[in-house]
């Protein structure tokens, strides 16, 4: 079952998604700094923000792949198959 956050991300435009990713990464860096200096009341917030960043990046990549042409997708498949052989 898709999470609420994932469903919410699908409604964002590409510009909103990029802005949200940038804001979330800035928030994560600030939280990491604060945690190193004085500690956080709830350090599990770091994990949640990291997971939010991963959700944002996954949605951006999914959209990027959806926009690819058939030729680009076939080239990508060839590259991936060569990597698997090694």
Confidence of residue 39 (pLDDT cuts 50, 70, 90): very high
Q: Where are the alpha helices (DSSP H) in 1-86?
A: 4-10, 14-37, 44-67, 70-85
Q: Give the global pTM.
A: 0.82
Q: Which domains are assigned to the chain?
A: 14-85 (1.10.287)
| Whether residue 29 has pLDDT greater than 70 | yes
CA distances, 61 to each of 38, 49, 56 (Å): 35, 18, 9
| Whether residue 68 has pLDDT greater than 60 | yes
Q: What is the pLDDT of residue 3?
A: 66
Q: What is the pLDDT of residue 86?
A: 62
Q: What is the pLDDT of residue 33?
A: 96
């Amino acid at each position: 079952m898709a999470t609420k956050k994932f469903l919410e991300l699908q409604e964002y435009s590409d510009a909103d998604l990029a802005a949200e990713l940038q804001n979330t990464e800035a928030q994560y860096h600030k939280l990491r700094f604060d945690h190193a200096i004085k500690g956080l009341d709830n350090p599990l917030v770091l994990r949640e923000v990291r997971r939010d960043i991963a959700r944002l990046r996954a949605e951006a990549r999914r959209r990027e792949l959806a926009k690819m042409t058939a030729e680009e997708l076939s080239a990508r498949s060839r590259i991936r198959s060569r990597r698997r052989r090694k």
